[in-house]
Amino acid sequence: MLGHLSFGVRDLTTAIAFYDAALGPLGLIRVWTAPDAAGYGPPGGGDLLALKLRPQTSPPGPGFHLAFDAPTRSVVDAFHAAALAAGGHDNGAPGLRLHYGPSYYAAFVIAPEGWNLEAVCQTTS
């Protein structure tokens, strides 16, 4: 449905360090870098998420978040741990979210600039 999504960031260096670490467990890498932007996607592919230097930006308010598919629950765990180690803030530890469905396993973090991110696995593995 979506081609890609762009986030404005005030500090591109900090954002790149965070997203390099947090998205790695999900199999996403930095696929391009420019002086004022960076893009993340699957190896050998185009970007799905672009970060753009925008010194006056602020993330949207409550209700907005970006969820990344994870192939396994252990990848959700790894995403959460990597994001926290890279400066993110816990917004929901890895675990089942039965109110979303019987196999909805997710973790939530707030990126250093305030973006609300989720990794979710909806299989039983």
Domain boundaries, the chain: 5-55+64-121
pLDDT band of 1, cuts 50, 70, 90: low
Decide which of 3.50.50.60, 2.60.40.10, 3.10.180.10, 3.30.390.30 is the CATH code for 5-55+64-121: 3.10.180.10
- pLDDT at residue number 98: 94
Query: In this predicted model, what pLDDT tens digit does every residue of 28-85 receive, in sequence order?
Result: 999 999 999 999 999 999 999 999 999 998 888 888 999 999 999 999 999 999 999 9
| pLDDT beyond 70 at 99 | yes
- pLDDT at residue number 61: 84
The 3-state secondary structure of the chain reads CCCCEEEEECCHHHHHHHHHHHHHHHCCEEEEEECCEEEEECCCCCCCEEEEECCCCCCCCCCCCEEEECCCHHHHHHHHHHHHHCCCEEEEEEEECCCCCCCCEEEEEECCCCCEEEEEECCCC
